Amino acid sequence: MAPPFDWWVKEKYRGTPVIVKMENPNWSISELSSPEDDEFAEARKGGKGKNAKQITWVLLLKAHRAAGCLTYLASATARLSSAVRRRIAAGRMDSDSGENPTLRHRFYTCIKIFLWLSILLLAFEIAAYLKGWHVSPPNLHGFKFPSSFGVRSLFGSIYASWLSFRAKYIAPLLQFLANACVVLFLVQSADRLILCVGCFWIRFKRIKPVARAIAEDLEAGKYFPMVLIQMPMCNEKEVYQQSIAAVCNLDWPKSNLLIQVLDDSDDPTTQALIRDEVKKWEQSGVQIIYRHRISRDGYKAGNLKSAMNCNYVKNYEFVAIFDADFQPTPDFLKLTVPHFKGNDELALVQARWSFINKDENLLTRLQNINLCFHFEVEQQVNGVFINFFGFNGTSGVWRIKALEDSGGWLERTTVEDMDIAVRAHLKGWKFIFLNDVECQCELPESYEAYRKQQHRWHSGPMQLFRLCLPDIIRSNIAFWKKANLIFLFFLLRKLILPFYSFTLFCIILPMTMFVPEAELPAWVVCYIPATMSFLNILPSPRSFPFIVPYLLFENTMSVTKFNAMISGLFKLGSAYEWVVTKKSGRSSEGDLLSLSELKHQRGGSAPELNSITKELAILPKKELKKKHNRIYRKELTLAFLLLTAAARSLLSAQGLHFYFLLFQGISFLLVGLDLIGEQIE
């Protein structure tokens, strides 16, 4: 007979047992478990006039509350089911998302094989469990079937052969893979812990880059070098107005500042809007130029390279880069450019990002956790102790001489920012990260936009690693700097992290439920991931309530990151895609009004800022578009794989593994149905 689920069903009583006696000796209620209700508390005291009618009313009240809870759960489930049905009916499959078809098909096929295998094994194990043959992992050794087992039952013979085969051949291989991934997991966790310790030390010692004492020079106008501003953009009509306005209001002498609006848009309407906006600011006295390329060759790198070839660039010493949705504060240049004075080895000053829409939905909240850790911990620690980090592609100021010395912008990867940073580091240039200088921008609000962004961010580094590895080995930098570039910057943080995250938690862990001889200890499944999530969330303490969704979502995103890493490493077609991240233009009306007030205080007049504000206020009503969602097949397939493994874990009573697999499967299900973030227009 199959053992009962004793670990699952446990009776728990609240309160203490009491005996209530009533006036009629023929009636009594004994052994009542009491909730914390005032009426029932009075009844427990045995006061005068407390009879069965009052007890009945208390019980009816509790029954009413319970019914209300059940009704709420039922209605919530019905609403969720209705939303799922609508999304499935109206959703678009991810086959038209632009991802490389060959890679998508192969990757999806592998995951489907694991799913069907898990379903088959689950059915097999349930049949054995119902016959009473199921054994939990601690009891596998020394287990013997009945003497007549192999004679009377063909199924029993097959099950015995399966147990022997998986113990001899499958379990050792699976355990080896699990141990290898655990080692990688521990190494990566140690690296993250060291970064956090470094960040704590920086805060404790109050270490931060300090510019030379040039306040007097600034006031006297002796240090206002020639600065070029570049704003690359492509079909981003939602954000161009406020970004151009923010850059044109930078507090810097107009004679020493030139703004290039580098438009790669292929939409004639967007081109006309941006061109008109540039003309408005040009008429107000700002030195601003509109440049449009007919072809998007090289994407952003090609755009920047083309702009740097202009003859007038030789008159400028520094170049600041701002993407289309970035809005620097007026004092941005005064906080960054002074760090270059007297520091001829300095190539880059990078500011951190802040986010206008970080509280817009759950997806943006989870992104904010990741990026806060990236800037405050990774970038700051690497900047202070190594003088090197990956350029973030925007909100940074470069010394033009350093760009030219490093070979300029190259179109060989989709991470041109990381490419130029690595080449400058190999040439001996130094970087500074300013954690207290922020530049506002916008986070992707839909899962589709975020997914495409992450695909580019994780395939590009692998392309770059293949291309620059020989240059790193042949370079003249110190050995420890080479080791940092190869093992920490590329392998550990760009390759190993998505590899073990996907392999360990999405493939190996579910498979250990069907091959219980191979085990993953509880500290690997729960305690270490929880600790790492806690460390990740420290730079954004207000996000602490989202620590569990963050842990689950990061494992869910490992599918996209692993896929991108493989495509970049092996030069597959999707590695060279560049899809512009969709913006929604979340800048508030107050941003433009503050710019208008600033212009007024400085004695100028911003061109038609009031009209811009009115246009932004009515834009959502005028350009309301139909929205849709996508159905992501890989995420859905992995959801069913994890939920199947969760059902299998019930048979062996592995409580902790069950909870992890259940909630992780639900996380994949929600993402697969595009129930996180906003829908796409």
Please say whether the dihedral angle defined by the alpha carbons of residues 608, 614, 618 and 619, taken in this order, is positive or negative. Answer: positive
Task: Name every residue whose Cβ is closer than 8 Å to that of residue 75 and which is 6 or more positions away in sequence.
Answer: none
Whether 266 is catalytic: no
Alpha helices in 309-415 (DSSP H): 332-336, 362-373, 380-385, 400-405
> Which of 264, 323, 419, 591 is labelled catalytic?
264
**Number of other CB atoms surrounding residue 681 within 10 Å:** 12
| Strand boundaries in 256-345, DSSP class E | 257-263, 288-292, 318-321, 327-328
Angle at 670 between CA 530 and CA 498, to 5 degrees: 50
DSSP symbol at 37: -
**Do 291 and 263 touch, CB atoms closer than 8 A?**
yes
Give me the long-range contacts of 201-209 (CB less than 8 A, separation at least 24).
Answer: 202/380, 202/381, 202/384, 207/384, 208/434, 208/435, 208/436, 209/339, 209/383, 209/384, 209/432, 209/433, 209/434
Nearest Cα neighbor of 190 from 487, 504, 472 is: 487
**Do 304 and 232 touch, CB atoms closer than 8 A?**
yes
The 3-state DSSP class for residue 330 equals coil
Angle at 533 between CA 529 and CA 539, to 5 degrees: 160
CA distance 473 to 491: 15
Q: Which two tokens stand for residue 229?
A: 């501003």
Give me the long-range contacts of 607-611 (CB less than 8 A, separation at least 24).
Answer: 607/280, 607/281, 607/283, 607/284, 608/280, 609/245
**Do 343 and 261 touch, CB atoms closer than 8 A?**
no
CA distance 634 to 645: 17
> Which of 94, 263, 323, 417 is labelled catalytic?
417
By DSSP bridging, strand 346-355 and strand 396-399 are antiparallel
Q: How many CA atoms lie within 13 A of 211 on its CB side?
A: 19
CA distance 263 to 273: 11
- Measured in whole angstroms, the distance separating CA 267 from the mean position of its chain's CA atoms is 30
Whether 417 is catalytic: yes
Q: Which two tokens stand for residue 337?
A: 């450019």
CA distance 647 to 644: 5
The letter for the amino acid at 426 is L
Q: Which two tokens stand for residue 631?
A: 């159905």
CA distance 356 to 345: 34
CA distance 599 to 605: 6
Task: Name every residue whose Cβ is closer than 8 Å to that of residue 43 and which is 6 or more positions away in sequence.
Answer: 20, 50, 54, 55, 58
Give the phi and the psi of residue 651 in degrees, each rounded to 5.
-65, -35
So which residues are the catalytic ones?
Answer: 264, 417
